[in-house]
Amino acid sequence: MGQNASGMYIVDDNYNIVGFNTVAEHMYPRLKKEEKCYRCLMNQEVPCAMCPIYNKIEGPKTYIDPVSGHYETVDAVDMNLPDGTHGHALIFGFATADGQKAVNEPLPANKEGLGLTSIINALGSDYRSIYSVDRKTQQVSMYLESNNADEMTRMNDTNYTSAITSYVKENVLLKDQCKLEFAMDFGSLCAHLKRVPQFMVHYRSVKKETGEIHYNYLKCARVGSADSFDTIVLAFANEDADIKRSQLQEIVSPGSSLAKRRILIVEDDELNREILKDLLCDQYDVLCAEDGAVGLKLLEEHYAELSVVLLDMFMPVCDGFQFLKEAKKNPILALVPIIVMTGSGRQEDEARCLELGASDFVPKPYNQRVVKARINSVIKLKESAAALSAIEYDDLTGLYTKSAFYYHAGILMRYKPDQSYAVIMADVKNFKLINNIYGIRVGDDILRYLAKIMSKALTDGLAARYSDDQFVMFTSISKNDFEKRLENAVKYISENAPIANLLVKYGVYKDVGKSISISEICDRAIMAMKSIQLNYEKNIAYYDDQLGQQHIREVMMENDFENALRNEEFEVWFQPKYNVQTEKIAGAEALIRWRKQDGSIVSPGAFIPLFERDGLITRLDEYVFKKVCQIQKERLTQGKPFFPISINLSRASLHHEGLVENYTRIVKENNIPFDCVPIELTESAAMYSIQIKALVDMLVASGFKLHMDDFGTGFSSLTSLNVLPFDVIKLDKSLIDYIGNESGDQIIQHVIALAHGLNMKVVAEGVEKKEQAAFLQNMNCDQIQGYYYSSPKSYEVFDKMI
C-alpha cells in the first residue's frame, strides 16, 4: 500500500463511525463501526481540537498527526447517509512532499504536545524545517526537515547553542549574521520570547558549492505563557518559495483565501498610502490612517476584524515606536500582528520594534511580491479574526476573558468619564470540593448558570470569567437602589442554583476611580470579597478606606517577612498541657509570636491569616518546626525531662511538595525521637481527609504522631476520625464553653468515651475555669490546655516551669 493512498471513513452528525475503507483500517486499526471517531483515533472523550467537521473547515487542510507525527491532508465532505440522515466523509492521506521527511516519533500526549501540534499545524507546510527546543536542557527535537535544506540537518538530538552557532557561522551571509546574534544566545532568545509570543527574522544564506544567495526567514515561537513556557519552536523557510506560493495562490484562486480579510495601513506619506492601497485592495478590505494617532483609533474600533497592520516607522504625529507601545498596553490590541515598513536599515531600530511587539518588516521602496508574501505569512502565523474572537471569549461560559474585560472596561470608562461605575467580583466558595462531590459536569453547569444570570442582569455593563471559579462584572450605578438590586440578585442566584446551598462571595468596589488601572480596580473588589471569605453570615462586602489601610498593612507585613525570618524576629512560645489527674505538665503546643526589631508586637491574628492566603505560611511552619526540633535536641542532650511539643501544620503545608521528606530529614538531623514533635492538623484541614490521606499515612509511617486540633468546630470531625490515623483529639474551646449546660456536658462525655474507645487520648483546650477543669477530670479527659493553668510562655519561662 503506497504512502500516498487515501483513507476514508464516514461519520454521522454525532461523530459515530458508519463505515471506512481498507486504507483507513490499515492506518487506524482501532476504527470500529458505531463508535465515536475521536475515541477510536485519539482515545479521548471529546471531538479532536483540529477536527474539520467540528471547526467547519471547508476544503483540504494539512495537519501534523499527533499520533503518527506525519503530515496529513484531511478533507471533510458533507453527504447523505443510506438511512436518509446527514453525515460526513473524511478523506485523508500523507502529505509529505518530495525531499522532505517528517518525524518518526509521535508528539508527547500531554499539554506540551498539544501546544506543539497546534503551532506546527498553524505553520503548515510552508516551512521546510521545524524543530522544538527544550528550554531547560536546550535539547533539540526535529518535527520536519527537508533533505534539500542546507542548514539544520545536524540539529536533531543535539545541543541547541552549538548547532545554531555552527549553522549561522557556516551558512548565513556574513553581513546578515548580526541579525541572528540573538538566536546564538539562548538566554537572549528566551528573554525575547517572554516579551512577545512569536516573531520572524529575515536573513540571507549562501550555498557553499555554488555561491548562490538565498533569502530565508526564521520563525521563533514559544509554547505556553510568558511566565511558564518550557518549549520553543523554530521554523525555517525560503522567502523565494513563499513568493512563488503567493503567486500560485492568486493564479489558482484569485483573492479567495484572503478576500474577507481586512488590513490597516498607517502611513503619513499620501503617495505611499495610495501605492499600498492600490497594491492590496484587490485582495483585502483596506483601511488607511494618515498618522499613528488616527491609526490607534481605527485599531481600537476594528481590532476584531483586522488581520494585520502595516505601520510606517517614522511619522510626525505618533510615530511607529509610540504606536507599538500603545498597542502593546492593551492585551487584545496586542494580538493583531503589525508589520513595520521602514527604509532605515538600522539594526537597533528593528530590534526595538521587535521588543515592542512587531511581527515582521517590509523594506522601502516597496517590492510588490515581498509585501504580499510577508502579509500572507504573518496572517497565517498570527491570530486571525476568528482566533481573536476565541481568545476574547471564554469557551465554557461565553463571557469575556479576563484580558478582554480589562480592555473593554477601559474603553467604557474613557467613553463616559462622568458616569459612576462599580466592579463586582464573585467567587464560588469551595468550588474544588463541589467538583469532587458532584462531578466536573455539574461544576461546569454551575459556572454556566452564573454566567447566564450575570449576562441578563447587566444590560448596561460587562461580565467576564476572571479565573476558574471567579467572575467579574462592570456596571454603571446611576440608580440609587444599586445595593438593594444587588442583594436581590444574590438572593435569586442562591435560591435557583443547580445545587443546594451554593455559596458565592461578592466583593464590590463602588464609584470606581478613573485614575487607577482596571487591574487595580479588580484587586480592590477582590480584597473586599476576601474580607468575608470566613464569614458565613455575610455574602457581600464593599471596599472602603479601612480595607485599603488594611491592605497597606498587609503589603508591609509581606515585605517585612524575609527580613523577619532572617533576623529571627519570629519567636516560638509554648502553652503547657497538663495531666488532668496529676495536674503536672505533660507536654506543650508551640505557638508563634512576631516581635519586630523596634520592639513592637504583631498579633498572630493579623499575620497568620495573611500568610495562609499568600502561601508564606509554609515557610513559617517549617521555621517553627526547625526551632522546636533544635530545642528538643538541646533538652535531650542536657538530660532534661522528655515532653512532646506539638506543632501546627497549615493546610497549605499539607499540599507543599516534599513535606514528609523534608520534615523527616529535619527530625533525623537533630537525632530526636519522632514522639518529640507530634503534628497538629486543624479540623478544617482534615475536612479534605480523602485528598490528604496518602500524605498523612506517609507522616505516620515515618514515625510522627498525629493530633486533630479544633475538634467539634465543623461537620467533618467524625468522618476524619474514620479516615485519618489520629492519636489525639483536641476538644475546641467552643465545646468547652458549653460545660455546665446539660446537653453540652452530654456531648463532651460521649466524645471522650468515643475517643477512648478508638484508643485515642483527649486534650481539652481553652479551659479557663475551675468548674471546667473539675468536670473534665470527672470525665477522665487526659490533658488540659488553657489559661486556667497557664497562658503561652516564652521558652525561658516554660523551661523554668518544668
Report the pLDDT averaged over residues 44-51: 70
Give the separation between CA 653 and CA 185, rounded to whole angstroms: 39
Q: Residue 345: CB partners within 8 Å, gap ≥ 6?
A: 363
Q: How confident is the model at residue 4 (pLDDT cuts 50, 70, 90)?
A: very low
What is the predicted pLDDT for the residue at 730? 93
Asked whether 20 and 30 are in contact (CB, 8 A), the reply is: no
Specify if 200 maps to a domain: no
Asked whether 776 and 793 are in contact (CB, 8 A), the reply is: no
Q: Which residues pair with 76 in a beta bridge?
A: 90
Q: Do both 515 and 569 map to the same domain?
A: no
Name the more confident of 421 and 536.
Answer: 421
Specify if 78 maps to a domain: yes
What is the predicted pLDDT for the residue at 419? 80
Last residue of a domain, one of 61, 96, 131: 96
Element (H, E) at 10: strand 7-12
Asked whether 701 and 751 are in contact (CB, 8 A), the reply is: no
How many C-beta atoms surround the C-beta of residue 331 within 10 A? 16
Q: Which residues pair with 707 in a beta bridge?
A: 680, 728
Q: How confident is the model at residue 109 (pLDDT cuts 50, 70, 90)?
A: very low
- 346-358 per-position pLDDT tens digit: 777 777 888 888 8
Q: How confident is the model at residue 294 (pLDDT cuts 50, 70, 90)?
A: very high
Report the pLDDT averaged over residues 73-93: 75
Q: Do both 334 and 413 map to the same domain?
A: no
Q: Do both 443 and 354 map to the same domain?
A: no
Amino acid in the structure at residue 38? Y
Give the separation between CA 125 and CA 259, rounded to whole angstroms: 22
Most confident of 119-128, 497-506, 554-563, 669-678: 669-678
- 669-727 per-position pLDDT tens digit: 999 999 999 999 876 665 555 557 788 889 999 999 999 888 877 655 566 777 788 89
Q: Residue 442: CB partners within 8 Å, gap ≥ 6?
A: 434, 435, 498, 499
Residue 270: φ, ψ to 5°? -60, -40
Q: Do both 606 and 525 map to the same domain?
A: no
Last residue of a domain, one of 356, 390, 424: 390
What is the predicted pLDDT for the residue at 100? 40
What is the predicted pLDDT for the residue at 281? 86
Q: Which residues pair with 505 in a beta bridge?
A: 427
- 382-425 per-position pLDDT tens digit: 544 444 545 678 888 988 888 888 878 887 777 677 788 899 99
Single out the residue of 245, 439, 266 nearest to residue 336, CA to CA: 266
Give the separation between CA 621 and CA 309, rounded to whole angstroms: 54
Give the separation between CA 524 and CA 643, rounded to whole angstroms: 47
Q: Do both 263 and 296 map to the same domain?
A: yes
- The whole domain housing 398 covers 393-543
Give the separation between CA 272 and CA 274, rounded to whole angstroms: 5
Last residue of a domain, one of 61, 78, 96: 96
CA atoms within 13 A on the CB side of 120: 29
Q: Do both 643 and 779 map to the same domain?
A: yes
Q: Which residues pair with 461 in a beta bridge?
A: 475
Q: Do both 717 and 674 map to the same domain?
A: yes
What length is written for the chain?
802
Specify if 138 maps to a domain: no
Give the separation between CA 499 and CA 435, rounded to whole angstroms: 12
Give the separation between CA 31 and CA 24, rounded to whole angstroms: 8
Name the more confident of 691 and 550.
Answer: 550
How many C-beta atoms surround the C-beta of residue 624 within 10 A? 18
User: 449 pLDDT exceeds 90?
Assistant: yes
Element (H, E) at 361: strand 360-363
Q: Do both 499 and 586 map to the same domain?
A: no
Q: How confident is the model at residue 537 (pLDDT cuts 50, 70, 90)?
A: confident
Prediction pTM value:
0.49
| Domain tally, the chain | 4
Averaged pLDDT score across all residues of the chain: 81
What is the predicted pLDDT for the residue at 96? 43
Residue 49: φ, ψ to 5°? -60, -30
What is the predicted pLDDT for the residue at 72? 61
What is the predicted pLDDT for the residue at 637? 94
User: 552 pLDDT exceeds 90?
Assistant: no
What is the predicted pLDDT for the residue at 271? 86
Most confident of 26-40, 189-203, 599-613: 599-613
- 785-801 per-position pLDDT tens digit: 999 999 999 999 999 99
Give the separation between CA 638 and CA 632, rounded to whole angstroms: 10
Q: Do both 384 and 434 map to the same domain?
A: no
- 179-230 per-position pLDDT tens digit: 888 888 898 888 888 877 777 787 888 877 666 777 777 888 887 777 788 8
Give the 3-state secondary structure percentages of the chain, helix then strand then coil, rounded to 5.
45, 25, 35
- 751-768 per-position pLDDT tens digit: 999 999 999 999 999 999
Element (H, E) at 696: helix 689-702
CATH number of the domain to which 292 belongs: 3.40.50.2300
Radius of gyration of the chain (CA): 33
What is the predicted pLDDT for the residue at 247? 37
Q: Residue 638: CB partners within 8 Å, gap ≥ 6?
A: none
Percentage of residues in the chain having pLDDT higher than 70: 81
What is the predicted pLDDT for the residue at 306? 86
Q: Do both 572 and 471 map to the same domain?
A: no
Specify if 108 maps to a domain: no
Asked whether 612 and 593 are in contact (CB, 8 A), the reply is: no
Residue 697: φ, ψ to 5°? -60, -35
Specify if 566 maps to a domain: yes
CATH number of the domain to which 61 belongs: 3.30.450.20
